[in-house]
Amino acid sequence: MPQPGVAALLEVGVGVPELPEVETIRRDLLSRVVGRTFRRVRISPGAERIVRWPSPAEFARALAGQRIEHISRRGKYLLFHLSDGRYLIVHLRMTGALLHRPKDAPEEPYLRISLSLDDSNELRYTDLRKLGNMWLVEEAEPIVGKLGPDALEGVTPQTLRSLIDGRSASIKAVLMDQAALAGLGNIYSEEALFLAGIHPRRPAESLAADELSRLHKAIGDALLEAMGHRGSSFRDYVDAEGREGQHQWHVKVYRRTGEPCYNCGTPIERIKVGGRSTHFCPLCQR
């Protein structure tokens, strides 16, 4: 089978869920579906465009009978490693959810693709806006190879330095650029910059060594704290059991316009950075 061209959509920062939400789903699914075999794949009429490769009919045919050997993650992409060496790659985009459900559970609204397993359960992909994507491929690199290092696992202060050197774009835009660093969107780039005390409009290349090391720590802290709360559910995100995350109650700046900064009491401001709404503390972030 030929491989798809470079089909990965690397829109800057577009996509809730972000890394902590996708990682929460991955960890939930690891214990529930690894070792299981896909049986029947059903794609709802009108949902065919979610399947980016191969054709929807071939996708359904080729997935049936595949055992799930492992599930990994690159940025916001989930990769199911299959017994024939292929990968089922899933990107949830804005409103996608991947639910682990008993086969006899009532159908969810916006159920687009159901993948029954060789036990009493199935994986159900729901997506209000049908913007999510799935690929079934022999090689994962054409899909995820253009991503930068993973924001949770692949980053050291040195890799951050190499990402920002020579980049005059705002540090927030660079953090959200999936080809630079994979996994951060609006929420966690804002939270990390707050924790690091760095103004989101600062040119990336202007960051000093001490600021970079603060930012490195802040990215890890922001992601790990969010994962501790099983992600943020500002809108549509739910985990593999359909439950909301709790981190939306713990964010420091994201969507807190006008509310007092937890450090200094100054009202959080909202500005545009790289065309995106951005929240920050004008006193704590320089």
Catalytic residue numbers read 17-18, 76, 276
Residue burial 206-235, b: 16+ Cβ < 10 Å; e: rest: ebeeebbbbbbebbbebbebbbebbbbbee
On whether the CB atoms of residues 47 and 124 are closer than 8 A, the answer is no
- Chain position whose Cβ is nearest to Zn ion: 261
Q: CA triplet 46, 52, 57: central angle to 5 degrees?
A: 65
223 or 284, CB closer to Zn ion?
284
Instruction: Kindly tell me which of 142 and 200 has the beta carbon lying closer to Zn ion.
Output: 200
Contact residues for 114 (Cβ-Cβ < 8 A; gap 6+): 41, 42, 122, 123, 124, 125
Task: Determine if the peptide bond prior to 282 is cis (ω within 30°).
Answer: no
Provide long-range contacts, Cβ within 8 A and 24+ apart, for 106-111.
108/242, 111/44
Structure tokens at 75: 């940025």
Contact footprint for Zn ion (CB under 5 A):
261, 263-264, 266, 281, 283-284
CB of 172 to Zn ion, least distance (A): 17
- Shortest distance (Å) from residue 162 CB to Zn ion: 30
CB closer to Zn ion out of 123 and 222 = 222
Q: Which CB sits closer to Zn ion, 25 or 261?
A: 261
Q: In which residue are the tokens 């990402």 written?
A: 163
Smallest gap from residue 285 Cβ to Zn ion (A): 7
Measured from the CB atom, the residue of 140 and 283 that comes closer to Zn ion is: 283
CB of 264 to Zn ion, least distance (A): 4
Q: Which amino acid is at 183?
A: G
Where in the chain does DSSP place strands (E)? 38-43, 51-53, 68-74, 77-82, 87-91, 96-102, 111-117, 121-127, 133-137, 269-273, 276-280
In a 13 Å sphere around the CA of 1, the CA atoms on its Cβ side amount to: 14
Q: How far apart are CB 268 and Zn ion at their closest, in Å?
A: 8
